[in-house]
Amino acid sequence: MTTRIDRRMAKLKTEGRPALVTYFMGGDPDYETSLSIMKALPGAGADVIELGMPFSDPMADGPAIQAAGLRALKGGQTLVKTLKMASEFRAGDNETPIVLMGYYNPIYIYGVDRFLKDAIASGIDGLIVVDLPPEMDEELCIPALKAGINFIRLATPTTDDKRLPKVLQNTSGFVYYVSMTGITGSALADTGKVAAAVQRIKGHTDLPVCVGFGVKTAEQARVIGANADGVVVGTAIVNAVANVLGPKGEKTADPAEAVATLVSGLAQGVRSARLAAAE
Amino acid sequence: MDKPATPNSFRTGPDEQGMFGIFGGRFVAETLMPLILDLERHWNEVKNDPDFKAELTDLSTHYAGRPSKLYFAEGLTRHLGGAKVYFKREDLNHTGSHKINNCLGQILLAKRMGKKRIIAETGAGQHGVASATVAARFGFPCVVYMGATDVARQSPNVFRMKLLGAEVRPVTAGHGTLKDAMNEALRDWVTNVEDTYYLIGTAAGPHPYPELVRDFQSVIGTEARAQILEQEGRLPDTIIACVGGGSNAIGLFHPFLDDKDVRIIGIEAGGRGLDGIEHCASMSAGAPGVLHGNRTYLLQNSDGQIMDGHSISAGLDYPGVGPEHSWLRDSGRVEYVPILDDEALEAFKLTTRVEGIIPALESAHAIAHAVKIVPAMDKDQIVIVNLSGRGDKDVHTVASMLGMEI
């Protein structure tokens, strides 16, 4: 069974360019604004959308995404609303893949079976759940795969060759390579090392390998995209939203427009990645 | 949820996946997974290594002052007029609480693993002080994450950590308490994977931490069991300990779990009452969920967002609990009941007056429950309360509760 992610990745491969994977926080700063951001992403050049599910205790995230999650929760976002947002988006766009990204507890409390059923109904294509390593595959990964949803696993610099097969075993859609040991929003790692790591992972799998953590500018997207099948940008997008919010959370400019401007630049970066690499 | 079948022994967990029934496990980011597997490998090596045990025993004896005494609390017993009350005197340990037991064990493990840097989280500061102490003793740099609220209410311990050479990093996220400190410690660990050992202070977190912290703390119950047999010629009727993350409690309880006639009671922080959200009674008023690497009872809302909770005692101010306690709760072997801030404060004052012992506010919760149940018990019955720490650190908090200035 192919998903929207599989189809999108295959299409980009024939186009000879990496995917731009964009993360934003669902419900930040409020439901309607966040939905308008989501709707603006494909037009600005996003190929895959990661829809962040806010969590009170995001242990793998840096201050920017942590703050975005808290803004969303304060704005009344819940998992129910995040799924509703996906479904509203899906009504107007049946092509762009949506990956839900977050932590396990809200899903666990929602109920895994009910969640998978509702996620499919909302047009969700994949899941990234940070705190579910392969050792916990029975929890959600295997039920998700059975339900036809991609389970995208993070591989990290600490995932050595011995462990990689275990990490890749039940991974589908794409592999998300975390460019560094650290939290989201840290400085970008040595790009040479990242390229070598992407090659190492490709030696173990035919799945596309997307690279995230630390990519903030079009230039970085271009450099990383020269070797990876996709470039993930999150913190920079979340910051673009934060930057147009005043001290009391009031909007000083249109967040969707701010995000679209940033994403357009990043999209140019990934579109020039292979051209530059071929030069 | 189905109640698990009663096992032949309550002392065999966790299984190879780190589960106690449905609780426990390894819910961590992939970056940390190889580190946790490495820790597990080393832990399995040392836990039956006689050299490791000998080194730990030597330090426990000559450095920490073990065995801690089992003290017949005659003044409190007379005051309550029921069962005989004994205190397991963990307050007399070096650094003033049971936390040193775990820290000595883990620092030896860190040394064996060739780690170069220690990080820890702390609530009341007792674990932070114990971590800073063993780091100083063994020459490790040490960073302690502590919620900003706790930094303010436990200033004597902050000063002690600094004197010991540790860097105390206040955490302002959330309510600035233990939960937030633990998030920040995990973020440090995920960033500094090569050289850093995360010295978790309670019997929670991803496997193998709940097991190894329990095993290092079980010296409390092992000693208490032998001591009461020697002093009274029989096992106690009831044992009581306070439960935040639950390391002093699991340390006392574990050696008694298969003594079917011993009633075991864990005391949660009832704060200002269980009706609202100003408490930390995760097992009395929470639901199972996943946080900080394990599945356990948590204070959370219907969307699975973790609540902050409240307790007068910083050491109990945590919205979760070690996974083995969750399992012991569901299996029915251990009862968990809440004690309110006010009740703990009364027990604090009472113990100070009738025993000349200033207990930690955490331990005062356990004493408060003894105060409730002992008068109705027979005079030939025996209750052991774990006096997990001393209360010197709490005098500022108590003074402000009593409206005094010091």
Q: Give contacts of A106 with chain B, Cβ < 8 Å.
A: 303-305
For residue A278, what pLDDT band results from cuts at 50, 70 and 90? low
- Give the per-residue pLDDT at B5: 67
Domains assigned to chain B: 19-58+99-213 (3.40.50.1100), 66-97+218-401 (3.40.50.1100)
Average pLDDT over residues A172-199: 91
Option in B35, B179, B191 nearest A57 (CB): B179
User: Number of C-alpha atoms within 13 angstroms, CB side, residue A252?
Assistant: 10
* Per-residue pLDDT at A106: 98
The pLDDT mean for chain A works out to 95
Partners of residue B186 in chain A, C-beta under 8 Å: 59-60
What pLDDT does residue A1 have? 67
DSSP chain A: ---HHHHHHHHHHHHT--EEEEEEETTSS-HHHHHHHHHHHHHHT-SEEEEE---S--TT--HHHHHHHHHHHHTT--HHHHHHHHHHHHHH-SSS-EEEEE-HHHHHHH-HHHHHHHHHHTT--EEEETT--GGGTTTTHHHHHHHT-EEPPEE-TT--TTTHHHHHHT--S-EEEE-SSS-TT-----HHHHHHHHHHHHTT-SS-EEEESS--SHHHHHHHHTTSSEEEE-HHHHHHHHHTB-TTS-BSS-HHHHHHHHHHHHHHHHHTHHHHHH-
pLDDT digits (tens, 9 = 90+) for A156-170: 999 999 999 999 999
Chain A residues close to B29, C-beta within 8 Å: 59-60, 130-131, 133, 154, 156
A277's CB contacts (< 8 A; 6+ apart) are A226, A227
pLDDT in tens, B74-99: 999 999 999 999 999 999 999 999 99
- From the candidates A53, A73, A104, A109, which should be mutated to test the interface with B, based on the most B CB atoms within 10 A? A109
Catalytic positions of B: 99, 121, 388
Q: Which of A61, A118, A125, A137 is catalytic?
A: A61
Is B303's CB within 8 Å of A78's CB?
A: yes
- Residues in chain B, total: 406
Report yes or no: B25 and B222 within 8 Å, Cβ to Cβ: no
What are the pLDDT digits (tens) for A217-238? Answer: 999 999 999 999 999 999 999 9
Report the percentage of chain A scoring pLDDT > 70. Answer: 98
Q: How far is A81 from chain B (nearest CA, A)?
A: 10
Q: Give the gap in angstroms from C-alpha B96 to the nearest C-alpha of chain A.
A: 31
Is A50 known to be catalytic? yes
Residues of B in contact with A141 (CB under 8 A): none
What local confidence, expressed as pLDDT, does residue B17 receive? 95
The tens place of each residue's pLDDT in chain B, 406 residues long, gives 555 567 889 999 999 999 999 999 999 999 999 999 999 999 999 999 999 999 999 999 999 999 999 999 999 999 999 999 999 999 999 999 999 999 999 999 999 999 999 999 998 899 999 999 999 999 999 999 999 988 987 888 999 999 999 999 999 877 788 899 999 999 999 999 989 999 999 999 999 999 999 999 999 999 999 999 999 999 999 999 999 999 999 999 999 999 999 999 999 999 999 988 899 999 999 999 999 999 999 999 999 999 988 899 888 989 999 999 999 999 999 999 999 999 999 999 999 999 999 999 999 999 999 999 999 999 999 999 999 999 988 888 899 888 888 8
Instruction: Mutation target for A interface from B191, B303, B307: give the one with most A CBs within 10 A.
Output: B303
Q: Residue A48 pLDDT > 70, yes or no?
A: yes
B193 in A contact zone (CB under 8 Å)? yes
Residue for token pair 């990956």: A99
Q: Is A201 on the interface with B (CB under 8 A)?
A: no
Residue of A nearest to B30 (CA): A133
Quote the CA–CA distance of A243 and A251 in Å, as a whole number: 9
Nearest to A269 by CA among A217, A215, A214, A202: A217
Mark yes or no for CB contact B305/A104 under 8 Å: no
Q: Which CATH class is domain A4-278?
A: alpha beta
Token pair listed for A67: 């703050």
- The β-bridge relationship of strands B84-89 and B167-171 is unpaired
Q: Which pLDDT tens digit goes with each residue over B171-203?
A: 987 778 889 999 999 999 999 998 999 999 999
A133 touches chain B (CB under 8 A): yes
**What's the gap in Å between the CA of B306 and the closest CA on chain A?**
6
The answer to whether B239 contacts chain A (CB < 8 Å) is no
Pick B29's closest partner by Cβ from A60, A107, A109: A60
Q: Give yes or no for B38 touching A (CB within 8 A).
A: no
CB contact under 8 A, A110 and B304: yes
Has A95 been annotated as catalytic? no
pTM for this predicted structure: 0.96
Do B305 and A110 lie within an 8 Å CB cutoff? no
Return the pLDDT at A277: 52
B48 CB near a chain A CB, below 8 Å? no
Distance from CA of B28 to the nearest CA of A (A): 4
Q: Do B306 and A57 touch (CB under 8 A)?
A: yes
Taking a contact as any Cβ pair under 8 Å apart, which residues of chain A between 60 and 89 contact chain B?
60, 62, 66, 73, 78-80
Angle at A164 between CA A159 and CA A167, to 5 degrees: 95
pLDDT value at residue A184:
86
Domain spans in chain A, listed from the N-terminal domain onward: 4-278
- Residue B405 is predicted with a pLDDT of 82
Partner A, chain B 199-238, Cβ-Cβ below 8 Å: none
